[in-house]
Structures are given as structure tokens and as C-alpha cells.
Amino acid sequence: MKLVECVPNFSEGRRPEVIDEIVGAMTGVGGVTLFDKEMDADHNRAVITITGEPEAVLEGVFRGIATAKDLIDLTTHEGEHPRMGATDVVPFVPVRDMTMDECVDLAKRLGERVGEELGIPVFLYEHAATRPSRQNLAKVRKGQFEGLRDEIGTNPERDPDFGPKKIHPTAGAVAVGAREFLVAYNINLGTSDLSIAKTIAKSIRLSGGGLKYVKAMGFEIKDRGIVQVSINMVNYKGTPLFRVFEMVKSEAERYGVPVIGSEIVGVVPVDALIDCAEFYLRLESFQREQVFENRLAESEAA
């Protein structure tokens, strides 16, 4: 059974009743499951994760966007997190029996409907981007709601992929895309010297000449008196966790600093962990069908 995850971000983090109504609209579609719901008052933003078969998720998230358009007014919205729309960003993530191309297709179909039926301009981003400059979400959202309102329709660079060349007066614009599963992964160092975490973060991330699918920053963990390399693994298949862990360990050794632990924030696909077992146990010709639970699922389906 094909399974897709969709993680719409809504510009509302203070009124739970609004988010409840949006979630209700999405999960009112048969086959859509609520996987996670996070609201942040400072960011004034909610991150909702739904899963299900592609057509159900497509219909569900469309209804969520329509509901958010009615209930959220960007002209009075304030929060720490950058945003350009009532529904700000909508990534599709392949979970099971799905390709990235199929997620790109879902993003385009959703974008077309949102543009035509709701009159909200849509920008395709990441794997769904129609030009390289739009792969990066930060660039698509540059200037936020207020800046985009001025530029859209006058600057051809800001022409949307779907919908009117004019910002929606209250719902703004929305970025719709397709991306890999994100793993938030932190590595803790046995030192209080923040400069070491920052230097290592720089050396392992793509922008610093490091690993392709790694974004990283250095932070202090004051209550523990240690520092942390905080990592976004944007493609755990392309750059596996163990490679990042070993690289941080090796860089830290150069300063005589030990790696004292690591943390996975939120959820991680089981395959990302099995990849680590396979690496460290030096497993020869290991097949994922050898995982008892996978074989069980197969035999139960047979």
C-alpha cells in the first residue's frame, strides 16, 4: 500500500481551536491519519503531520488549506518564524512504496487546485521546484508575506507556479513541495568550548565543504556545561547517520574532545538505524527481508 506523509505548516500557534478545525478538515477525509501535531506560541505556527494513501492525503491537505484560508489572517499575524501564507509550506514526503517523483506529482496537483480553486498563489519548492532558484525554501519565502505582497505581479522572478500573480489579501501565498524525510540529530561533545562545536559543525556541513545532505550548527547546552553539534540530516539515505557520527568523532579528536553522546530529536525511520547496525557490525550481504518484523508483515499479507 502506498503511503505518503504530508507536513503542512500553518501560521497559527496560539489559538488551538483554529488548529483543531484545520486538523478536523484534513482528517475528515477517510484514510487520512493524524501522525503528529505541534503548536508553538512564540513562532505562532503549527506543524501538522498527516499520513495516508496519496489521493486521501491530497484531498485532506487541500481541505486543510481551504480552512486555514478562512480562519487565518496574515495581515494581523505576528510570530518569530518567517511566513508568507496562512498555510505557509506543504511538503510531501515518500514513506512506503512511493518515489520522489510521485511526491513531486502530488505537489503539482495540489498546487494547481490551490491556485485555481482557492485563488492563492503557489510556489513549488525543493524536489518539485520548476527552477533551481526555488529549491531552497528560504529563497522562495524571501521578504515574507509583506515583501512578497509588494513584489508579486511586478517582479517576474516572483511569478507563482500556479494561481494569480497577486498575493491573496489575507491568506498570502503557499510553498508546496516534495522532500526526503528529515532526521534531527545532535551530537554532544565533552567540552564547554562553543568554538569547537561551531568549527566542527562548519566542517561537516555541505556549505563548509562537508557532507552533501548535512546542515549543522554549534550550540551550548548550558545546564550540562557542554556543547552540541546540532544537525539536520536532510537525506539519511544519501548521508547516513553513522558517517556523520564518525566524522564528528574524528574532528573532535583533533581537539582532544570526546563525543559523549548523541540524540535523535523526534522520529527516525527504522532503516536509518538498521543502516548503523549494518555498518558497525560489518554485516555481509544483509537483506532487509531478514528483519523479522518485515518478514512477518509479508507473511501476514500473503
User: Which lies closer to a second copy via its Cβ, residue 97 or residue 157?
Assistant: 97
Q: What minimum distance in Å lies between the beta carbon of 152 and a second copy? A: 37
Q: What minimum distance in Å lies between the beta carbon of 250 and a second copy? A: 15
Q: By CB under 8 A, what part of segment 47-66 binds a second copy?
A: 51
CA-closest candidate to residue 244, choices 208, 204, 275: 204
Backbone angles phi, psi at 75, to 5 degrees: -70, -20
Query: What residues form DSSP beta bridges with 231?
Result: 185, 216
* Pairing assessment for the beta strands 226-233 and 183-189 based on DSSP bridges: antiparallel
Q: By CB under 8 A, what part of segment 156-215 binds a second copy?
A: 181, 188
Place of cell 564547554: 192
Question: How far is residue 30's CA from residue 210's CA, in Å, rounded to a whole number?
Answer: 44
Intra-chain end-to-end CA distance of the chain, in Å:
13
Binding footprint of a second copy, residue count (CB under 8 A)? 46
Out of 2, 14, 35, 40, which residue is the one contacting a second copy (CB under 8 A)? 35
Does 168 participate in catalysis according to the annotation? no
User: Which lies closer to a second copy via its Cβ, residue 153 or residue 190?
Assistant: 190
Q: What minimum distance in Å lies between the beta carbon of 32 and a second copy? A: 11
Q: What minimum distance in Å lies between the beta carbon of 298 and a second copy? A: 9
Question: How far is residue 126's CA from residue 140's CA, in Å, rounded to a whole number?
Answer: 10
For a second copy, what does the binding mask look like between residues 256 and 275, x meaning CB under 8 A?
---xxxxxx-xxxxx--xx-
245 in contact with a second copy (CB under 8 A): yes
277 in contact with a second copy (CB under 8 A): yes
CA-closest candidate to residue 66, choices 29, 103, 106: 29
Among the listed residues 43, 77, 81, 168, the single catalytic one is: 81
User: Which lies closer to a second copy via its Cβ, residue 33 or residue 192?
Assistant: 33
Out of 2, 33, 105, 198, which residue is the one contacting a second copy (CB under 8 A)? 33
Q: What minimum distance in Å lies between the beta carbon of 37 and a second copy? A: 11
Question: How far is residue 87's CA from residue 250's CA, in Å, rounded to a whole number?
Answer: 42
Question: How far is residue 35's CA from residue 93's CA, in Å, rounded to a whole number?
Answer: 13
Question: How far is residue 268's CA from residue 236's CA, in Å, rounded to a whole number?
Answer: 9
Question: How far is residue 38's CA from residue 45's CA, in Å, rounded to a whole number?
Answer: 8
Contact residues for a second copy, defined by CB under 8 A: 3, 33-36, 51, 95, 181, 188, 241-242, 245, 259-264, 266-270, 273-274, 276-286, 290-296, 299-300, 302
Which residues are known catalytic residues? 81
